[in-house]
Each structure stands twice: as structure tokens, then as C-alpha cells.
Chains A and B, each alone.
Chain A
Amino acid sequence: GAGVSQSPRYKVAKRGQDVALRCDPISGHVSLFWYQQALGQGPEFLTYFQNEAQLDKSGLPSDRFFAERPEGSVSTLKIQRTQQEDSAVYLCASSFKRDNEQFFGPGTRLTVL
């Protein structure tokens, strides 16, 4: 595809529900990143993949957050037992390799009621 795509664009969940957010990176990009953006703030790093290997998950806020990229392309960010503080925009980015220019998807806006 021409750019990074994410789905769904909007997700409303009741507190305690599990959610799964999908990211399709730019074809051929080795590196994939997930970020969380709270209202009025800059994005914050969550986790990083190089191909299928999750090399850094230091930004994941709790063990309720889990990310995978099993075939080195599409990635899924899963949040278990959602809490109200999980409400945010979740952004995915990809780059040819780690320190190259990152390109961002449109984000998924998660609202937990």
C-alpha cells in the first residue's frame, strides 16, 4: 500500500473488555513501532519490532498490553481488561530500518467507558 494503515479508526469499549488494534505497515519496512497519544500530549513510545522480533517493549504501560507481528508484516496491539486510563489514540509507524524516517498511520482512537 501507499502508506501505513490502521484499523479500526475508532473503537469504543466497555471497561474490562479486550480490544485488538491492527497495523499494516508500508511494504518492505523492517521496523514497526507502536505509540500511545493522550489528549493534548505528544505520542509516547510503546514497543518496537524488527521483522517479527519484538526488540523493545519498555514502553508498554502494564502487562495488560501485548503486541505481536508474527510474520514480520502486519502487527496487532492487544489490550486486555481495558481501563478508562487506556483511552487514547494508538499510533503505528514503520520505517525501512530503525533509525530511518518513520511514517505514521492515521491512528486508532480508543475510548473506554
Chain B
Amino acid sequence: GIQVEQSPPDLILQEGANSTLRCNFSDSVNNLQWFHQNPWGQLINLFYIPSGTKQNGRLSATTVATERYSLLYISSSQTTDSGVYFCAGGHNYGQNFVFGPGTRLSVLP
């Protein structure tokens, strides 16, 4: 099955800093999502982005499907951005939706 890698595994930022999180897939996927899991465990949808670039406020994401990776950009980070960021993807030919191990982000005031 598909393997998903995320980097870095842990990231500590000062409030106001920018960051880039990366997700690599071992095989092609045609549905890809980024999530933020808050301290209460809720998975919050950030982007559905099988390809291309999207932006939502301080967050943006880019997926290069041909090279099997996706990037999540966080600008002007805030303490409320803290938590774990997951990417996940699958393929419509029977591949289940597979999550990466996550990037744990801590934003310090």
C-alpha cells in the first residue's frame, strides 16, 4: 500500500514566524487532504488538494501530483496554530485513505 512521510516530525516556532510542512507519497494519489488535529483531538479540514495550489487566510498548500508531494505553508504563525498536522491521501483504484505520521507544531508566545 501507499506509504506517507511527513517532515519535520516536530517543529517549534516563535509567534509570527513562517513555516513549511512537507508530505511525500510513495505512489500516486488522486485525493489528498491536510488536517489540523487540535488539542481536543478534533481533525479539522484545512485543504482538499489533489493537485495545484490553494490559499485560505494565513495558510496555503501546493500539491505536485507528478512528483508525489504536497507542501503546507503557515505564515505569521499564532499560538492557536499549535497541534498536529496530518496529510492523507488515497487513490480511487481501491487504495484506502492513508495518513502520514504527522508534524507536531508548537508556537510559542
Binding site for B on A (CB under 8 A): 33, 35, 41-45, 48, 56, 58-59, 89, 91, 98-104, 106-107, 109
Cβ contact of A100, chosen from B31, B88, B94, B101, cutoff 8 A = B31
Chain B, residue nearest A103 (CB): B45
Chain B contacts of A41 at CB under 8 A? Answer: 101-102
Residue of B nearest to A41 (CB): B101
The residue from B98, B100, B102 contacting A45, defined by CB atoms under 8 A apart: B98
Bound-state Cα–Cα, A101 to B33, Å: 7
Contact B45 A101 (CB under 8 A): yes
- Indicate with 1 or 0, residue by residue over B90-106, a CB within 8 angstroms of chain A CB atoms: 10101011111110000
* Closest Cβ–Cβ distance, residue B83 to chain A (whole Å): 13
Cβ of A107 and Cβ of B41 under 8 Å apart? Answer: yes
A68 and B96 CA atoms in complex are apart in Å by 18
Could you pull out 9 A-B pairs where Cβ atoms are within 8 angstroms?
A33-B97, A41-B102, A43-B43, A99-B90, A100-B31, A101-B33, A103-B45, A106-B40, A106-B41
Name the 3 nearest CB pairs between A and B, nearest first: A42-B99, A101-B48, A104-B43
Contact B31 A99 (CB under 8 A): yes
Using A104-B43, A106-B41 as known contacts, say yes or no to A48 and B86 having CB atoms under 8 A apart. Answer: no
A43: which B residues are within 8 A, CB to CB?
43, 86, 88, 99
Is B101 in contact with A42, judged by CB distance below 8 angstroms? yes
State A89–B40 Cα separation when bound (angstroms): 11
Q: Which of chain A's residues have a CB closer than 8 A to the CB of B90?
A: 99
Q: List residues 34-82 of chain B with CB under 8 A from any CB of chain A.
A: 35, 40-43, 45, 48
Smallest beta-carbon distance B78→chain A, Å: 23
Contact A109–B101 (Cβ < 8 Å): no
Residues of B within 8 A of A35 (CB): 99
* Bound-state Cα–Cα, A45 to B90, Å: 11
Q: A43 CA to B99 CA in the complex, in Å?
A: 6
B30 on the A face (CB < 8 A) = yes
